[in-house]
Amino acid sequence: MRLIFLNRYFHPDHSATSQMLSDLAFFLAGAGHQVCVITSRQRYDDPAVVLPAYERINGVDVHRVRTSHFGRASLPGRALDYASFYCAAAWRLWRVARNHDVIVAKTDPPLISVVVGWVAHWRGARLVNWVQDVFPEVAEALGMRVLSGPQAGVLRRLRNRAFRTAAANVVLGESMAAVLARAGVPDTHIHVLPNWADQAAIYPVAAADNPLRRDWGLEGRCIVCYSGNMGRAHEFDTILGAAQLLADQSATIGFLFIGGGAQRGRVEQQVRSRALGNVEFRPYQDAADLRFSLGAGDIHLVSQRPEVEGYVFPSKLYGILAAGRPLVFIGDPEGEISRLVAQEGVGVSVRQGDAAGLAAQLLHLAGADTLRDTMGQRARALLCARYDKSIALKAWEALLVKVARPALP
């Protein structure tokens, strides 16, 4: 196969969409396929970084296009970054794409499939949409006025046409599949392929063997960890409320935030204003150290606003499972993550806004070593059986081969 991927970030960037794409691209190149990636010259966490315009990495041809680099701090700047990537990536794709290529468009920036769909049609290529987020629904749910109202309807119609005319649309869960089905996408063109974690790279590490717990002064306490993007689709008031209720028990329970994102500054400001001495912050950690950073937490938190249910899916789930840690989900009690947590026995769920309920659950888990160990073992087993990288990459290759194969008479 000859494959072209489009996403705003790629290796060496460590954002979730970049890591997934990098894993898949390198795997497919190693399997003998021709793989090209069209991406930006930026890194997610540092828009000032300028990466090389072209590189060949592990057999993958990486074309990086020049864009504006205002970063994620403001919505107008972000919109300009998106627009410049649409134009530059479409032009590069027009020059690179050939008849019968398979083009895989991720959803960073949002709605890139609209532009890519036109180029794919003109070039006689087959389009696969890799749907990580469903826009403009996410923007509407989060109250972004620029993507609400009549313009959202226009964008939705364009997006739906790109989905319906694609050879395949890959979604992360059943709720997201239902959203596409309601948009009129045929069931035969919707494929549920979850994201993943690498069980060989991320695995359970005992507290006594974890250098980060020593370096960060976390020994002797039960650590409640939030690791990953602190984006607008995530809710933190419930977590901060629970931290405040447990502030007088800081000698036994501590809170740790690892990562960054649009809301990190607000969360840090809230911690300062509430004088929460039981909350600490650390930056994103290198991918090679994820087993230690994820292992620094005894209990992990996953937060997702109920209004974005079906429009996004938290990829941080898979690393937690791989690390063999129990999780507490904060969000829709009837949502897909809540059902998974309950069915698999890997943690508990709490309704958004129920800070007292979250504090009670954390207090219970902190004092129940055997229960945490059992949940962690189930989490690890679930990852290995269903969400390991090797399983996901083979499923992706099988789908792309099917898409690339000319239709039989």
pLDDT tens column, 169-193: 999 999 999 999 999 999 999 999 9
What is the three-state SS of 260-319? CCCCHHHHHHHHHHCCCCCEEEECCCCHHHHHHHHHCCCEEEEECCHHHECCECCCHHHH
User: Strand order in 347-351's β-sheet?
Assistant: 279-282, 253-258, 222-227, 299-303, 327-331, 347-351
Check residue 117 and give its pLDDT: 95
- Average of per-residue pLDDT across 121-148: 88
Helices (H) and strands (E) in the chain, counts: 15, 14
- Average of per-residue pLDDT across 73-89: 81
- Average of per-residue pLDDT across 126-149: 86
Q: Is the pLDDT of residue 69 over 90?
A: no
- Average of per-residue pLDDT across 381-402: 98
Check residue 47 and give its pLDDT: 74
Check residue 407 and give its pLDDT: 47
Indicate the residue type of 81: D
Helix 369-382 to helix 336-344 angle (10° resolution) is 110
> 192 pairs with which residues across the strands?
171
Cα four-point dihedral sign 338, 343, 345, 346: negative
- Percent of all residues in the chain with a pLDDT value above 90, rounded to a whole number: 84
Q: Is the pLDDT of residue 71 over 50?
A: yes
Q: Are 86 and 109 in contact (CB under 8 A)?
A: yes
- Average of per-residue pLDDT across 306-324: 96
- Average of per-residue pLDDT across 286-310: 95
Q: Quote the pTM value.
A: 0.93
CA dihedral 138, 395, 2, 101 (to 10 degrees): -50
- Average of per-residue pLDDT across 45-73: 88
- Average of per-residue pLDDT across 244-265: 95
pLDDT in tens, 357-389: 999 999 999 999 999 999 999 999 999 999 999
Check residue 408 and give its pLDDT: 42
Count other Cβ atoms within 10 Å, centred on residue 101.
Answer: 21
Q: Across the chain, what does the average pLDDT equal?
A: 94
Indicate the residue type of 115: V
Check residue 277 and give its pLDDT: 96
Pairing of strands 126-130, 102-105: parallel
For the chain, domains (ranges, CATH) are 2-196+388-404 (3.40.50.2000), 207-387 (3.40.50.2000)
Check residue 81 and give its pLDDT: 82
Q: What angle do CA 186, 398, 129 make, to 5 degrees?
A: 45
Position 145 confidence tier, pLDDT thresholds 50, 70, 90: low
Indicate the residue type of 276: L
Check residue 409 and give its pLDDT: 42
Structure tokens at 5: 């991927």
How does DSSP assign 79-121, residue by residue? HHHHHHHHHHHHHHHHHH--TT-EEEE-SSSTTHHHHHHHHHH
> For the stretch 19-55, what's the b/e string if a residue is b when 16 or more beta carbons lie within 10 angstroms of its beta carbon?
bbbbbbbbbbbeeebebbbbbbbbbbbebeeebeeee
Count other Cβ atoms within 10 Å, centred on residue 264.
Answer: 17
pLDDT in tens, 274-283: 999 999 999 9
Check residue 48 and give its pLDDT: 80
- Percent of all residues in the chain with a pLDDT value above 70, rounded to a whole number: 96
